[in-house]
Structure 1
Amino acid sequence: MTIIRQTSLFSIQELYDMEPTQKYEAIISAIDMDAIYRAVNKKSRLGAPEELNYAAMIISVFVRIVERIPTIKDLVKRLDSDIAFKLNCGFLVSDCIPSEASYSRLIAKLKETNILQKEQENVVSQAIDEGFITDDTVAIDATHFEARDQAPPKEEKSAPEPKKRGRKSKEEREQWLKEQAEKEANLLLYEKKIEAQLGASLQELRSEVPQDPKWGIKKNSEGKNVFWFGYKGHLAVGTTSQYILQSLFSSGNLNDGKAAIPLLKGIDGRLSLPSLRYETMDAGYDYDPIYEQVHRMGHQSVIAYNKRNEGEPIGFDKHFAPTCFREQSYRYDSFDAKNETLKYTSPKECIDCPLANEGICQKVYKVKITKDLRRYTAPARGSKAWKTIFKRRTAVERVNAYLKKFFQLNNVRYRTGARAKVHFDIATLVYNASKLAADRINAKLNQQQAA
């Protein structure tokens, strides 16, 4: 009888249950610590010499997330009282324990560089090269987390000037249109409409994203509005591997849809992942420019449709499938990728319909997705294949929950948005490094089992 060996499933939780020395080594080895050290190390020979062990300080900042140590103050206390923990973080016995102010200066140096973002992409590239990321679907969503400080008091708005009633004259309308055009041109990139992002470079999209804490609003599961003061983390997650492929930190008031194109351009421009075919998102991302960006990447959009008070078109059902003379929906059959065409076949109910034999209803209906990228998706809306892909979107929700519960995303201890971004980048980087460490151990266990 053939013996079937099941593959090992070594998880992040099992990784975190290991001895500290093994655990830290596995996670930290996935990150290029030398690159981070070079980015924050003193460049000039002038000034006072640095006596602190910066390499060990950087490691301890990452270990703080792993061990869920709530504050830098608690980290300093742990280093001072636990010699084994101090050595595991890379400090020597003779090294003095850095102060909270020293860690604050380290965070300030990290704030001035984009090294954490580069290392995030480096970890993802390693996972791709080692065969741990082979996803065909990416899920995009946002999660909110509060700022440390309380919200400032709201400013009282002055009453608007009363509008002049009646129709504008030709001169007044031309002047008004000119003022509106100038106002639109002077808006910041993320204050403009989403379509303005299509022509912007990834560097512009990354550098101009607002980061100050702001009031945000979101509907909960009961349909009620929930307000918070703080930030948003926007993630693009591989639905099978559950790696964070791209991330973006923003103010809490940024519309979720305005973060999609920067994430998509990051995937397209900075990752080599030919297996990707689909991007799935909820109805908050149902905007024409997002469909256009996905189409430019050669992928397909699986995004929930938001009606926005739009009526159903005549001759089509709610999923935009064509209907016959008796208003029965055609069945989605296939997608011709070469011609970008959806193929529908006649409904089952039309088999015995006398109109079919008279040639009133056609047996096959074809439509190009480029006719309207928002309505005509591949696979077609409402089809079983579309629903199967859309269900994969829950992967990004799970990762958001992991980051908040186990990687301290909900524990921002800094007052400014720039420093809060460092916290966000460290949390997402440690998550990806932990995933890579667990996958490497898992692969080694499978090799031993196969041998």
Structure 2
Amino acid sequence: MYIRQTTLFSFEEIISFQQETKLEMIFSQLDISTLASSIRKSSSEKGPKGYDPVCLIYSLLAMQVERIPTIKDLVLKLKENPILRYSCGFEVLGKTPSESTFSRFLEKLAESNELETLFHDLVIKAKEQDIIDGNNVSIDSTKLNCYEAAVPKSKIIDDGTHPNWGMKRDTNGNNIRWFGWKLHILCDCKSELPLDIKITPASVHDGTVAIPLIKQFKNHYKNHFNTTYYSMDSGYDYDYIYNDIVNKFQGIPIIAYNPRGSYAPPEGLDEDFDPIYSAGYKLVYWRKDSDYIKFRCPHAVGRCNCPHGMTWCSNSNYGYTLKLNYKENPRLNGYPLRSSKQWQKQYNSRTSVERCNSRLKEYLNTDNIRSKGIKKAKMHALLNCIVLISGTIALNIKNQIKKVA
């Protein structure tokens, strides 16, 4: 007869000797006490005490890390995997929550504002560790499929809280249609981490969300960030976005130009958006004075040999000059110039938001919303954002310890 030898240490003691797991590293950077307290059942409420909200929150975060598709699968994993059970704070030999327990908890979590507060606190923590900069940000949206039953457009409730049909072009220019939501992300270009998010029905145009998202970002963080550059693709190329960023937020919009069917550059500008004068030569950017950008005659500064000379356009020995207030029409006469290396450098950083989207969807569980309603869709996105930032902080601390050692 085979007799199993007893172990000297308990399961918990054996686990404590092991190398720190990925989940433990992520959880170590989270302070969810306030969030748990806001959801925990008060002493005046009747009924069984239930499971500790801390353990339930950890379980939902673990679900995103391990890319567990459904609550049913999460319940099964917790039953079968003692290490996962232990990492989430449950008794190793105790009971684990049922699907209905998680379902009720998700309802409470979706109604709480503390999950969003936890996300913002993590962002500030990452900034304090110099992981996040916030001087350059980029904005973009990504599609989120909805597992609610798709309905025809004629039967969609258009109140901003129900999923609907959306269409977006992929990187190859192909039209993609889906039923569900859009996740709009304001992302830090340095760390490629999300700083703020909004969820809308899929049909909402990207351009209408940019300014509300920036306002939300400013309100959430107050004086924590001094953002200069806001980079976006041509889907955000609207006058009011430029004007608000420049005049309301004192920032610099770096947005790709959308010709919208026109076959020629705007009047007075060449294909690089530099001003030209009557002889057809490009004026030379000279300098920026306060709100004005100054251009000079190319013949006067030796950039070309105009057959008419300088006197054809100006009687001054200095040559023809043009001054433009870039705050009056920042879309066409913005600073830095669209043709400059500085503009292109900032625009190239826009791809940071695409990599942020990719990590949230390919390495985590963002594109796997199984709950109904816009509040639960946002809750799901926040859980994934929290995991991404917390994991980055934990990895940064680990690397710093290695350097010291």
- TM-score, normalisation: structure 2: 0.86
Taking the aligned partners of 1:110 and 1:384, their CA distance within structure 2 comes to 47
Contact 1:136/1:277, CA 8 A, preserved across alignment: yes
How far residue 332 of structure 1 moved from its aligned partner, in angstroms, is: 3.2
How many residue pairs align between the two structures?
A: 379
How far residue 156 of structure 1 moved from its aligned partner, in angstroms, is: 8.7
Match of 2:231 in 1: 280
Match of 1:387 in 2: 344
Written as runs of structure 1 = structure 2, the 5 A alignment for 1:128-167 is 128-155=127-154
Contact 2:55/2:90, CA 8 A, preserved across alignment: yes
Taking the aligned partners of 1:44 and 1:294, their CA distance within structure 2 comes to 49
Match of 1:167 in 2: none
Taking the aligned partners of 1:36 and 1:130, their CA distance within structure 2 comes to 23
User: Which ranges in structure 2 are unaligned for 5 or more consecutive residues?
Assistant: 1-17
Contact 1:315/1:327, CA 8 A, preserved across alignment: no
How far residue 94 of structure 1 moved from its aligned partner, in angstroms, is: 5.0
2:251 to 291, 299, 314: 299
How far residue 42 of structure 1 moved from its aligned partner, in angstroms, is: 1.2
Structure 1 pair 434–345 and aligned structure 2 pair: CA distance change class (3 A)? farther
The amino acid that maps onto 1:260 is A
Taking the aligned partners of 1:273 and 1:54, their CA distance within structure 2 comes to 30
Structure 1 pair 111–156 and aligned structure 2 pair: CA distance change class (3 A)? closer
Taking the aligned partners of 1:156 and 1:146, their CA distance within structure 2 comes to 18
Match of 1:187 in 2: none
- Classify the secondary structure of the residue corresponding to 2:64: helix
Match of 1:10 in 2: none
Taking the aligned partners of 1:256 and 1:358, their CA distance within structure 2 comes to 48
Q: Deviations over 1:383-431 (max 9, x none)?
A: 2211111111110001111111011112111133322222111111211
Match of 1:267 in 2: 217
Structure 1 pair 79–444 and aligned structure 2 pair: CA distance change class (3 A)? same
User: Which ranges in structure 1 are unaligned for 5 or more consecutive residues?
Assistant: 1-18, 158-190, 192-208
Contact 2:40/2:52, CA 8 A, preserved across alignment: no
Taking the aligned partners of 2:87 and 2:310, their CA distance within structure 1 comes to 80
How far residue 245 of structure 1 moved from its aligned partner, in angstroms, is: 0.9
Match of 1:316 in 2: 269
Written as runs of structure 1 = structure 2, the 5 A alignment for 1:50-89 is 50-89=49-88
Match of 2:181 in 1: 231
Written as runs of structure 1 = structure 2, the 5 A alignment for 1:189-200 is none
Taking the aligned partners of 1:88 and 1:242, their CA distance within structure 2 comes to 28
Structure 1 pair 223–85 and aligned structure 2 pair: CA distance change class (3 A)? closer
1:351 to 286, 304, 309: 304
Contact 2:198/2:378, CA 8 A, preserved across alignment: no
Taking the aligned partners of 2:352 and 2:266, their CA distance within structure 1 comes to 33
- Classify the secondary structure of the residue corresponding to 2:183: strand
How far residue 89 of structure 1 moved from its aligned partner, in angstroms, is: 1.1
Give the percent of matched residue pairs that are identical in Structure 1 and Structure 2: 30
Written as runs of structure 1 = structure 2, the 5 A alignment for 1:95-106 is 95-106=94-105
Taking the aligned partners of 1:269 and 1:292, their CA distance within structure 2 comes to 19
Q: Please provide the CA RMSD for this pair.
A: 2.5
